């Protein structure tokens, strides 16, 4: 009977669909840990998570099966076994999310994911079939319970594994970041699995950005008494060796290791934005980003995030002043770009605005000047920035926040144009908090360790689109402090007007107006660029509302 185990937790990134790169990375990890007994990798490590409908291509599952056998063949050298996430198609054509144990030159066991999440960002029932309740895997005299992600978030699978004689639970995950989710995983969800089963548990999660999702890692080991033996860092690829021994009571125990400190709020929010943007830009092969630098807080914090993610030499800030742009905005934009060390250009849009005024004069002759002319300015800026993007290859960064996206306070084909938006799921009040934090702190992951990153005047001045004289956001909207409370109730909690009024005491007509604005702006959000998910419920993957509907709670 084996009484000790050396298990390596590989908290790694993945590239969806790039099986060759994922396999090469796993081989490199194994080569670095020849003295280990077992190396663990996150959920679907071979094909990348989440694969979405890409996994429905027969060629992908066929290639995955071939490469899994190749990885298994590597283990014939007498070195460490590997636990690898992949996919499997059965004789009936059903596709499964699996974990495979590779040892001695072959696949010695496979287990299929039983609980398939189908809420929020998850759509697994769309592409996978559910496997049966999995039994433990007997490996080198040890019975391993292998719940795959959601299998560990709910009690049934772990309870079944414990009843079937499992001695150690190993939960491989693809668990995206959300605010406060790191502590919830450890202290609520998986601590409960340990308490219910009396078994020690390894929780392993991936890191890195994948389109609108970002994964924070935050892996850990819990002993059977509920104590934490290891906490792996957030936002970092790490390989951590854990050392296990079987006691006189035949129970496995992990020797204490390092307990990393995870980012507190809002540092975690900022790190999520940096990692998501970095991986989106780099994985898709852009040389850098370009953005409109207005002198306002949204563009200033986006520029700072981009410089931290990519380095300031890959960030191009462009001020596009109109006749309504204030001298303060011009100087603030230039100062912010200089503070982060990014390129800063000025391209006035006045000639283009005048040309459009002349071009449309006949058609608009019997109409008063209104929001149409304001939107023309925004769209001219969008066209100009897209021209720079097309000519030089830089991805256009969009800078609208979640508060604006919620109520449609943005111009479609104007300031909504772009390839990615770091602030898409960040309310305006969060933007203010992030700006204050970044001015006083250096992020761990930064490629631009400077501070502060913007003038205080950008944070303290009233927000304005500057599309007409003396314009302020709060001319059209409630204060952002009040608006964001309403929006959180409507979007994150699905509350109705009366419930929000009762909770906060806001004017009912104002709350009802905000509900209407959220509903009628859905068509804009459908055409918005992707952006990193930060909250429990973002626009797009989490919240899928019809564009056309007539339901209101007021």
Q: How confident is the model over 314-323, as pLDDT tens digits?
A: 999 999 999 8
Whether 43 is a known active-site residue: answer yes
Q: What is the pLDDT of residue 250?
A: 82
User: What pLDDT does residue 509 have?
Assistant: 94
- Split at pLDDT 50, 70, 90, the class of 273 is very high
Mean pLDDT of 359-377: 90
CA distance 272 to 532: 8
In the chain, where does the domain assigned CATH 3.40.50.620 lie? 267-473
Which is it for strands 142-145 and 168-173: parallel, antiparallel or unpaired?
parallel
Q: CA–CA separation, 344 vs 291, rounded Å?
A: 10
| DSSP string across 468-486 | STT--GGGTS--HHHHHHH
Residue by residue, DSSP assigns 256-303 as P--BPPPPPTTHHHHHHHHHHHHHHHHHTT-S-EEEE--SSHHHHHHH
pLDDT > 90 in the chain, percent = 83
Which residue do the tokens 């007997």 mark? Answer: 138
Query: Confidence band (pLDDT; 50, 70, 90) for 466?
Result: low
pLDDT band with cut points at 50, 70 and 90 for residue 247:
confident
Does residue 452 register a pLDDT over 90? yes
The average pLDDT across 336-352 equals: 97
Whether 475 has a pLDDT exceeding 80, the answer reads no
Of 52, 124, 125, 149, which is the active-site residue?
149
**Residue 359: alpha-carbon gap to chain centroid:** 43
Identify the CA nearest to 396 among candidates 501, 308, 291, 321.
291
- Point out the catalytic residue in the list 88, 113, 482, 524: 113
pLDDT for 467 beyond 90: no
Predicted pLDDT at 1: 66
The Cα–Cα gap between 249 and 188 comes to 27
Nearest to 244 by CA among 228, 256, 232: 256
For the residues 248-266, what does the mean pLDDT come to? Answer: 93
**Full-model pTM:** 0.92
Quickly state the pLDDT bin for 470 (edges 50, 70, 90): low
Comparison of pLDDT for 472 and 122, the residue scoring more: 122
Please provide the DSSP assignment of 192-253 as one string: HHHHHH---EEEEE-EEEETTEEEEB--EEE-TTS-EEEEPPBS--EEEEEEEEE-TTS-EE
- Torsion region of 160: left, alpha or beta (phi above 0 gives left; psi -120 to 50 gives alpha): alpha
Active site residue 113: yes
For residue 474, pLDDT over 80 is answered with no
Cα–chain center distance at 41 = 20
- At residue 524, the pLDDT reads 92
Alpha carbon distance 8, 503 (integer Å): 49
pLDDT at 121 over 80: no
- Average pLDDT score over residue span 194-215: 96
pLDDT at 520 over 70: yes
Query: What residue spans in the chain does CATH classification 3.60.110.10 cover?
Result: 4-251
399 pLDDT above the threshold of 90: yes
Mean pLDDT of 464-481: 73
Mean pLDDT, all residues of the chain:
93
Answer yes or no: is pLDDT of 465 > 70: no
Contact by Cβ (8 Å): 146, 111: yes
Of 154, 115, 107, 153, nearest to 134 (Cα)?
115
Residues contacting residue 94 through CB under 8 Å, at least 6 positions apart: 129
Q: Which CATH superfamily is domain 4-251 in?
A: Carbon-nitrogen hydrolase (3.60.110.10)
Number of H helices, E strands in the chain: 19, 19
Rounded distance, CA 44 to CA 543, Å? 25
Task: Give pLDDT, residue 539.
Answer: 78
Bridge partners, 420 (sequence order): 397
Q: What percent of the chain has pLDDT over 70?
A: 97
**Cα 69 from chain centre:** 32
Question: Which of the two residues, 429 and 118, has the higher pLDDT score?
Answer: 429
> In this predicted structure, what is the pLDDT of residue 540?
73
What confidence score (pLDDT) does residue 543 get? 76
pLDDT above 80: residue 542 = no
The residue annotated as part of the active site, out of 43, 88, 178, 374, is 43
Which tens digit of pLDDT belongs to each residue from 129-169? 999 999 999 999 999 999 999 999 999 999 999 999 999 99
Structural Rg of the chain based on CA atoms: 26
Instruction: Establish whether 149 is a catalytic residue.
Output: yes
Neighbours of 93 (CB within 10 A): 9
> What mean pLDDT comes out for the span 402-415?
92
Pick the CATH number of 267-473 from 3.90.25.10, 3.40.718.10, 3.40.50.620, 3.90.480.20: 3.40.50.620
């Amino acid at each position: 009977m084996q009484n000790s185990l050396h298990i390596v937790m590989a908290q790694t990134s993945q590239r969806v669909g790039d099986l060759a790169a994922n396999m090469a990375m796993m081989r490199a990890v194994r080569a670095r840990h020849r003295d280990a007994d077992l190396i663990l990798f996150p959920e679907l490590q071979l094909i990348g998570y989440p694969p979405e409908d890409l996994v429905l291509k027969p060629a992908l599952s066929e290639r995955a099966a071939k490469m899994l056998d190749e990885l298994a063949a590597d283990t014939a050298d007498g070195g460490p076994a590997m636990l690898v996430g992949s996919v499997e198609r059965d004789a009936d054509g059903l596709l499964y999310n699996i974990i495979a144990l590779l040892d001695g030159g072959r696949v010695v066991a496979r287990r299929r994911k039983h609980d398939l999440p189908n809420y929020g960002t998850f759509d697994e029932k769309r592409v996978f079939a559910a496997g049966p309740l999995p039994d433990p895997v007997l490996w080198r005299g040890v019975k391993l319970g292998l719940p795959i992600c959601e299998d560990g978030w709910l009690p049934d699978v772990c309870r079944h594994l414990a009843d079937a004689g499992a001695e150690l639970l190993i939960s491989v995950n693809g668990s995206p970041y959300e605010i406060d989710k790191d502590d919830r995983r450890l202290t609520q969800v998986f601590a409960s699995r340990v308490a219910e089963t009396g078994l020690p548990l390894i929780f392993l999660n991936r890191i890195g950005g994948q389109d609108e999702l970002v994964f924070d890692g935050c892996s850990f080991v819990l002993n059977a008494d509920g104590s934490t033996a290891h906490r792996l860092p957030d936002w970092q690829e790490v390989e951590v060796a854990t050392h296990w021994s079987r006691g006189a009571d035949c129970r496995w125990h992990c020797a204490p290791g390092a307990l990393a400190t995870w980012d507190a709020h809002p540092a975690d929010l900022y790190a999520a934005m940096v990692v998501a943007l970095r991986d989106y830009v780099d994985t898709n092969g852009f040389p850098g980003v370009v953005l409109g630098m207005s002198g306002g807080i949204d563009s200033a914090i986006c520029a700072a995030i981009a410089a931290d993610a990519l380095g300031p030499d890959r960030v191009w800030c462009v001020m596009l002043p109109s006749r309504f742009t204030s001298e303060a905005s011009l100087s603030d934009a230039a100062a912010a770009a200089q503070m982060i060390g990014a390129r800063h250009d000025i391209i006035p849009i006045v000639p283009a605005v005048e040309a459009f005024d002349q071009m449309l004069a006949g058609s608009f002759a019997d109409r008063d000047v209104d929001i149409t002319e304001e939107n023309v300015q925004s769209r001219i800026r969008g066209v100009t920035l897209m021209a720079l993007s097309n000519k030089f290859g830089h991805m256009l960064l969009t800078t609208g926040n979640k508060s604006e996206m919620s109520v449609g306070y943005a111009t479609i084909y104007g300031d909504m144009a772009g390839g990615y938006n770091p602030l898409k799921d960040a309310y305006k009040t969060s933007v203010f908090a992030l700006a204050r934090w970044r001015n006083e702190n250096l992020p761990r992951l930064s490629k631009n360790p400077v501070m502060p990153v913007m003038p205080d005047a950008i944070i303290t001045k009233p927000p304005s689109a500057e599309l007409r004289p003396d314009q302020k956001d709060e001319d059209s909207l409630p204060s952002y402090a009040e608006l964001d409370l309403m929006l959180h109730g409507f979007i994150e909690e699905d509350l109705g007007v009366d419930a929000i009024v009762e909770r906060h005491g806001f004017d009912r007509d104002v709350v009802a107006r905000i509900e209407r604005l959220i509903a009628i702006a859905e068509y804009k959000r459908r055409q918005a660029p992707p952006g990193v998910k930060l909250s429990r419920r973002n626009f797009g993957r989490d919240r899928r509302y019809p564009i056309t509907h007539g339901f209101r709670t007021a």
